[in-house]
Structure 1
Amino acid sequence: MARSYPEWQQLATELEIEGRAFIAGEYSAAQDGRSFACINPANGQTLAQIAWCGQREVDTAVQAARQAFESGEWSALAPLARGRILKRFAALIRECSDELSLLETLDVGKPIADTQSVDVAGAAYCVEWFAEAIDKIGGEVAPVDPKLVGLVTREAIGVVAAVVPWNFPILMASWKFGPALAAGNAVIVKPSEKSPLTAIRLAALAKEAGIPDGIFQVLPGAGDTGKMLALHMDVDCIAFTGSTAVGKLIAADAAASNLKRTWLELGGKSPNIILPDCPDIKKAARTAAAAIFYNMGEMCTAGSRVLVHRDIKDSFLAAFKEAAQGWQPGDPLNPDTAMGAIVDRIQYDKVLSYVDKGLNEGATLICGGKATHLEQGLFIEPTAFDCARADLTICREEIFGPVLSVITFDTVEEAIRIANDSEYGLAAAVWTSDLSTAHKVSRALRAGTVWVNCYDEGGDMNFPFGGFKQSGNGRDKSLHAMEKYSELKSTLIKLG
């Protein structure tokens, strides 16, 4: 049963928040006493003090993970048994949906309706999906000389560090620890310092589900904590979602240490192409608004560049401006709120600086462009610019906020060229009534995901998620994700 606005407000006053790290099956503070404040971006209030894990906590957690992994209590558990425990974990996530949704909303400013229906529900689905996949994946018997038996098998890598972002904290974490746990690894989650609360709470649920001590641990902290994990000689794999700049640093640290397996899901500047034969301009405009304003634009796949054909530009912009009105920011605890608060002051100032850059470089403001302050929170209006050139700063750099660049084109070839003229290649979309055009443009776009006549569809776990170029490597979701957390082994047995 859906809760009302007053009910969510009341629950927020009653919420108990854990801020300690979870190491070897127990919550514990940082040994040196360091901590940082967790701030609600919607009102500026401090929610809790969070343990800031340093080298001692990292070393202790890695040692516990190594011991737990090598004991075989999890890695050698029968796939069916491991799957049952993960299903229980997923069930506990669902049972605690209200609590987890509230933690996420208070922590990062996301609307409560979204944290319930997308973030927490999606995390439970992810864990359950990989739990069900465990005993469905086998190895191979290679065709070799009859005097040999050749087996190809997959084994867990070992200790996996998952450094996860602040825009979808619980969901992105599950995309890492779900397949990693399913493959039999020990996992250390390092949540962003901007969004540690749900990961810390998940640790207790994992233990309650039956995951052995040391197999699922959480180390809150800042960038230095993530760097320690990337450099650690006894971490076998590191998976990261975040900015391209930080991803490059993690890859360098991983290479400089033990050449640990490194999987990176990074930034994007995704093009949303509206061709003149778009089947429904009003629908395309509504979808384009959702593609950039959903989650306050804090999405690596955000449709932050709309490429619209000159012949339909005026009608598209009229429909878009109308659609943008439905994305005015409000209190994240109100179930009717579509867009919440920007995650923190740093990101808030960054987004507003890009608005200034757009104005200074000659872009024409279509809508928004201002900060709004609801009870001293960090809110920004849904903003869009009409850009005369595709090389403006706001057209090329990832803003990670509710700011859209609209670029005009005259031919399909020009649209493809502009779309691909980016260091990123995470997602893209095209709107057309012609099936051949849809296929041709989709093939030509250098992106890991391409939508046709829609945007951000496909929450199904069967689809791999990741990007081309500097949007990263490897893939989250789908069975391809499990490959990232396992090693291939060839075994040849000579018959007597």
Structure 2
Amino acid sequence: MFARSALVARGSATSQVGRIQLRFFSHLPMSIPIKLPNGLEYEQPTGLFINNRFVPSKQKKTFEVINPSTEEEICHVYEGREDDVADAVNAADVAFNNGSWSNIDPLQRGNALYKLAQLIEKDKDVIASIETLDNGKAISSAKGDVELVINYLKSAAGFADKIDGRMIDTGSTHFSYTKREPLGVCGQIIPWNFPLLMWAWKIAPALVTGNTVVLKTAESTPLSALYVSKYIPQAGIPPGVVNIVSGFGKIVGEAISTHPKVKKIAFTGSTATGKHIYQTAAASLKKATLELGGKSPNIVFADADVKHAVENIILGIYYNSGEVCCAGSRVYVEQSAYDELIKQFKVASEAVKVGDPFDENTFQGAQTSQNQLNKILSYVEIGKDEGATLITGGERIGDKGYFVKPTVFGDVKEDMRIVKEEIFGPVVTVTKFKSLDEVVEMANDSEYGLAAGIHTLNINTALKVADRLKAGTVWINTYNDFHHSVPFGGFNASGLGREMGAETLENYTQVKAVRAKLV
């Protein structure tokens, strides 16, 4: 099948050295049959999705996609380059300017999004399984992701005919009003930890407001976004409105960010990359929204239900294998409750089922890449070297697949790297505190500000602390508790703008003021 091949290092690695990613020049078909580990079979699209068709990349390059649970190749997909981005942007620009989407009755846009949600809903078992295969997350988590996708698309559809301006009373001599209009072509770059959910969080607000989209998938997890894109034309969304280009950040991401016809950039990923994209967008005055990293505090007061708090800490740090930007990776426990909580938390951490992500009883699947596994294990060594006490975990599980034990550090100091830096894995630090003022100060002592958790039976304490925490989302007696109507986003180095809720619509519209003199 392959005419010739090239080996290109990408930083993901074999167990000892570094995995070499195969990139080929090929004549790969536009879809290939795949049998999933749970017995389901489906056709996986491999092309770029441009103008409602799957097409090969201009240069016919492909790259391999790896199963993180087995370290085996799943398939190859076509790799986009700058010329493919240009094609996708041109298609999106034509679709925007011809009015086939931006000028139609808003209710039609809402109906199309709702139909897209229904098509996904009918196929949700296969879609969740693709997510688990490609990302390594537990199938239970993947099913939860797909439900969130469905609910969010339906919720966003309901905003279609509610995007309006206002009339302004400026006296009897003039008629003045505002209206909200779409921006045009929106460039979107999504991460590998929630591939399908981030696809939905990005395209839904862009589409419901009348924009068109060029989206880059994460190179390690392109499969689910490509698969569900086959439903775009079936939902009644015109050609060019949604375009998907698989590829690498330094090529495809950069080309999208710098293209003059792209009017807005939406990015989810690391803070370092987000800063670069923000600077790039600023050079051409593109609107930008960034959902970036986090090092979120999870606070437990002495009056909290310890068992319930431990359950929420587990969900906060081990859910999705800890690869969550808002993971509750810094736990603060009131001094009098510390010993009991550590005792229960250690037992609960060691009881977390880690392994085959297609096992319905698995809670923590594989890390998404060898790179990420190596990073997590390196931070375990950093924590030991810094003098923290390793309470449990800190080891790789097996020699095949990117699995790691849930890891808890105690006796930490606030200036330790494992407390300050985002690890993006199932590693948590636990610290004592004596007073409300002390824990608020420690919780806020971070460059980030994405999320926080508070556990207490005293609603007055909960609300006082929530008001003082510098975080975009505060969960009380729960954690990682998302709802499609509740906005999500960060303060400080955790980003700009919001996902979900009515607030996200502001990111994809601009205000036009009209003032007419009456004669």
TM-score by length of 2: 0.91
- Distance in 1 (CA, whole Å) between partners of 2:452 and 2:322 is 15
* 1:343-400 Cα shifts (integer Å, max 9, x gaps): 01111111111111111111101111100027x1110001110033111111010000
Map of 1:194 onto structure 2: 220
Map of 2:39 onto structure 1: 11
Q: Judge conservation of contact 1:269–1:303 (CA < 8 Å) in 2.
A: yes
Map of 1:358 onto structure 2: 383
- Distance in 1 (CA, whole Å) between partners of 2:395 and 2:159 is 47
Which of residues 149, 164, 170 is equivalent to 1:138? 164
Sort the Cα spacing of 1:337 and 1:8 in 2 relative to 1 into closer, same or farther, 3 A: farther
Q: Within 5 A, what are the aligned runs for 1:296-311?
A: 296-311=321-336
- Distance in 1 (CA, whole Å) between partners of 2:376 and 2:189 is 24
Q: CA RMSD in A?
A: 1.3
Q: Judge conservation of contact 1:76–1:184 (CA < 8 Å) in 2.
A: yes
Q: Judge conservation of contact 2:166–2:178 (CA < 8 Å) in 1.
A: yes
Which of residues 266, 281, 301 is equivalent to 1:275? 301
- Distance in 2 (CA, whole Å) between partners of 1:410 and 1:460 is 33
Q: Judge conservation of contact 1:40–1:109 (CA < 8 Å) in 2.
A: yes
- 1:482 aligns to 2:505 (yes or no): yes
SS state at 1:247 partner: helix
- Distance in 2 (CA, whole Å) between partners of 1:327 and 1:255 is 45
One-letter amino acid matched to 2:276: L
- Distance in 1 (CA, whole Å) between partners of 2:177 and 2:39 is 55
One-letter amino acid matched to 1:199: A
- Distance in 1 (CA, whole Å) between partners of 2:145 and 2:410 is 32
Map of 1:3 onto structure 2: none
Map of 1:401 onto structure 2: 425
Deviation at 1:16, TM superposition (A): 2.6
Deviation at 1:143, TM superposition (A): 1.2
- Distance in 2 (CA, whole Å) between partners of 1:432 and 1:420 is 19
176-185 or 142-151, larger mean C-alpha shift = 142-151
* 1:253-285 Cα shifts (integer Å, max 9, x gaps): 1112x211000000000001111222x011111
- Distance in 1 (CA, whole Å) between partners of 2:412 and 2:181 is 53
One-letter amino acid matched to 1:214: G
Q: Judge conservation of contact 1:286–1:319 (CA < 8 Å) in 2.
A: no
Q: Judge conservation of contact 2:132–2:142 (CA < 8 Å) in 1.
A: yes
SS state at 1:470 partner: helix
SS state at 2:290 partner: strand
Map of 2:407 onto structure 1: 383
Which of residues 449, 461, 473 is equivalent to 1:437? 461
Q: Judge conservation of contact 1:270–1:426 (CA < 8 Å) in 2.
A: yes
Map of 2:9 onto structure 1: none
- Distance in 2 (CA, whole Å) between partners of 1:487 and 1:48 is 41
Q: Judge conservation of contact 2:367–2:402 (CA < 8 Å) in 1.
A: yes
Map of 2:12 onto structure 1: none
- Distance in 2 (CA, whole Å) between partners of 1:295 and 1:388 is 25
Deviation at 1:322, TM superposition (A): 1.8
Q: Judge conservation of contact 2:312–2:477 (CA < 8 Å) in 1.
A: no
* 1:393-424 Cα shifts (integer Å, max 9, x gaps): 11010000000011112221111111000000
SS state at 2:401 partner: coil
Which of residues 397, 400, 409 is equivalent to 1:372? 397
SS state at 1:425 partner: coil
* 1:179-213 Cα shifts (integer Å, max 9, x gaps): 11000000111111111111111221111111011
- Distance in 2 (CA, whole Å) between partners of 1:160 and 1:253 is 15
Which of residues 181, 201, 204 is equivalent to 1:175? 201
- 1:341 aligns to 2:366 (yes or no): yes
- Distance in 1 (CA, whole Å) between partners of 2:127 and 2:43 is 11
Q: Judge conservation of contact 1:326–1:338 (CA < 8 Å) in 2.
A: no
- Distance in 2 (CA, whole Å) between partners of 1:236 and 1:17 is 31
- Distance in 1 (CA, whole Å) between partners of 2:505 and 2:39 is 37
Q: Within 5 A, what are the aligned runs for 1:413-452?
A: 413-452=437-476
* 1:296-331 Cα shifts (integer Å, max 9, x gaps): 000011000001122111100111112113323110
Map of 1:75 onto structure 2: 102
- Distance in 1 (CA, whole Å) between partners of 2:398 and 2:356 is 11
Deviation at 1:434, TM superposition (A): 2.2
**Number of aligned pairs?**
484
Deviation at 1:8, TM superposition (A): 6.2
- Distance in 2 (CA, whole Å) between partners of 1:146 and 1:166 is 56
Map of 1:97 onto structure 2: 124
- Distance in 1 (CA, whole Å) between partners of 2:472 and 2:493 is 11
One-letter amino acid matched to 2:57: A
Which of residues 141, 145, 153 is equivalent to 2:179? 153
SS state at 1:93 partner: helix
Map of 1:4 onto structure 2: none
Sort the Cα spacing of 1:174 and 1:367 in 2 relative to 1 into closer, same or farther, 3 A: same
Map of 1:463 onto structure 2: 486
Q: Which runs of 5+ in 1 are unaligned?
A: 1-6
- Distance in 2 (CA, whole Å) between partners of 1:388 and 1:362 is 8
Map of 1:48 onto structure 2: 75
- Distance in 1 (CA, whole Å) between partners of 2:369 and 2:361 is 22
Q: Which runs of 5+ in 2 are unaligned?
A: 1-34
Map of 2:244 onto structure 1: 218
- Distance in 1 (CA, whole Å) between partners of 2:44 and 2:99 is 33
SS state at 1:424 partner: coil
* 1:428-486 Cα shifts (integer Å, max 9, x gaps): 111222222212111110000111222122x2222110011000010000011011001
Deviation at 1:168, TM superposition (A): 0.7
One-letter amino acid matched to 1:481: T
SS state at 1:379 partner: coil
- Distance in 1 (CA, whole Å) between partners of 2:351 and 2:156 is 36
Deviation at 1:82, TM superposition (A): 1.3
SS state at 1:68 partner: helix
Map of 1:494 onto structure 2: 517
Deviation at 1:10, TM superposition (A): 4.4
Deviation at 1:91, TM superposition (A): 0.5
* 1:133-155 Cα shifts (integer Å, max 9, x gaps): 11133221111121111111000
Q: Judge conservation of contact 1:43–1:377 (CA < 8 Å) in 2.
A: yes
Map of 1:65 onto structure 2: 92
Q: Judge conservation of contact 2:52–2:232 (CA < 8 Å) in 1.
A: no
136-145 or 437-446, larger mean C-alpha shift = 136-145
* 1:227-258 Cα shifts (integer Å, max 9, x gaps): 111111110001001110000010111112x2
